[in-house]
Amino acid sequence: MNIKELKDKIKEYAEQVSEQEGVEVLDIEIHPGGKGLILRIFIDREGGVTIKDCENFSRAIEAILDIEDPIKSSYTLEVSSPGIDRPLKEKKDFLRNLGRNVKITTKEKIAERTFFIGKIIDAEDDWVRIEIKETKGKGSKKEEKSELLFIPLNKILKAQVYLG
């Protein structure tokens, strides 16, 4: 079984556990480690996850992995919250963060640039709309300009919540 097939199988098990635990599986990573594989599962829920949520999810997924045995080598299981600097990849990630500032780097130029910081206004299946505010001028001649920008999701190289 290759890594993609293994990841798909683990995602299937993780989705079962997420339903019973009331959390959402955000991402699954599989990496080579010192003595086998490192399996990381990132979970979240409205209002955030607790250590107890991670422990409960870990126990439940570990029980399934022990029985089904999809990983033939030794592995380390890590279950955690993705944290505030989590990558935003899909429509649901952007919708979860509506009204928050985001920093986005694109693969190609949009409106003459590839780096944006703005507030998430809306998102659909294939785009996110952000509001970019720029202040120009000095002293009493300061002028704030606001621009709404649609960024296609398939053009995004990296996006995350911006706290600055």
**pLDDT score for 144:** 82
Pair 133, 146: CB distance under 8 Å:
yes
Q: pTM for this one?
A: 0.65
**pLDDT score for 47:** 75
**pLDDT score for 55:** 97
Mean pLDDT by 10 residues, the chain (164 residues): 91 96 92 90 86 96 96 93 82 89 95 95 96 82 87 95 83
**SS3 annotation, 39-101:** EEEEEECCCCCCHHHHHHHHHHHHHHHHHHCCCCCCEEEEEECCCCCCECCCHHHHHHCCCCE
Q: Is 145 exposed, middle or buried (0-12, 13-18, 19+ CB in 10 A)?
A: exposed
**pLDDT score for 143:** 80
* List of residues 6+ apart from 40 with CB closer than 8 A: 27, 28, 29, 30, 31, 78, 79, 80
**pLDDT score for 9:** 96
